[in-house]
Chains A and B, each alone.
Chain A
Amino acid sequence: RKEVEQDPGPFNVPEGATVAFNCTYSNSASQSFFWYRQDCRKEPKLLMSVYSSGNEDGRFTAQLNRASQYISLLIRDSKLSDSATYLCVVNLLSNTGKLIFGQGTTLQVKP
């Protein structure tokens, strides 16, 4: 079983739609969680951290469910520029920088 699992998609949605991605992780000792964004032929970049209480950044909302070991990302009012691959990322130990990446979920927002 992979340590971090995501549905690879692609998710094809119209502009303005709301779309949600889920991610599950296998190690209950995981300490911190993140969503990264990777544009086509570019390097990944941090989108947002995920906190136990849930957190929001504009149109993006991230949630963590430790009991069920999953993380979600909700994008409201999708824009064409949101088209990218979204990577779920887990840090097993809080005092190291070693991150485990999911394979990513591809989002295509269409006009």
Chain B
Amino acid sequence: DVKVTQSSRYLVKRTGEKVFLECVQDMDHENMFWYRQDPGLGLRLIYFSYDVKMKEKGDIPEGYSVSREKKERFSLILESASTNQTSMYLCASSLGGGSGELFFGEGSRLTVL
């Protein structure tokens, strides 16, 4: 069965802390994505990656960075967390070729105090 696993379901961090959100997929997918979801704004793309060590900025990359050292793992990094980064973060993966089917993890709800 298809599986995207996010390391933490709930996190509480303080302003200025460095935050790592980890995502692992077991489907050998080329594409991986990080979205954040906020009420009234829907899902917004932060970063995505088509291949190992490759990354592309999405629509709202400011304040975030990513790392993809292995095909199955895509990490989202908040170098210095701020309160406006309190959100639900969703990782997803898909096959190459724009098939349209994204497989999402269960999400990581981050609260920055």
Binding site for B on A (CB under 8 A): 8, 31-32, 34, 36, 42-46, 49, 87, 89, 91, 93-104
- Distance between Cα atoms of A73 and B98 in the complex (Å): 21
B74 at the interface (CB under 8 A from A): no
Out of A34, A44, A95, A102, which one reaches B100, CB within 8 Å? A34
Measuring CB to CB, which residues of chain B are less than 8 angstroms from any residue of chain A?
Answer: 30-31, 33, 35, 40-45, 48, 50, 58, 90, 94-102, 104-107
Contact of B99 among A42, A44, A97, A103 (CB under 8 A): A97
**Residue from the list A8, A44, A102 in contact with B102, Cβ < 8 A:** A44
Residues of chain B with a CB closer than 8 A to A46's CB: 100-102
CB neighbours of A102 from chain B (8 A): 42
Q: What is the bound-complex CA distance between A104 and B9, given in angstroms?
A: 22
Distance between B71 CB and nearest chain A CB, rounded to angstroms? 14
Besides A87-B43, A91-B98, A101-B35, 17 other A-B contacts (C-beta < 8 A): A8-B40, A31-B98, A43-B105, A43-B106, A44-B104, A95-B97, A97-B30, A97-B48, A97-B50, A97-B94, A98-B48, A99-B102, A100-B45, A101-B42, A101-B44, A103-B40, A103-B42
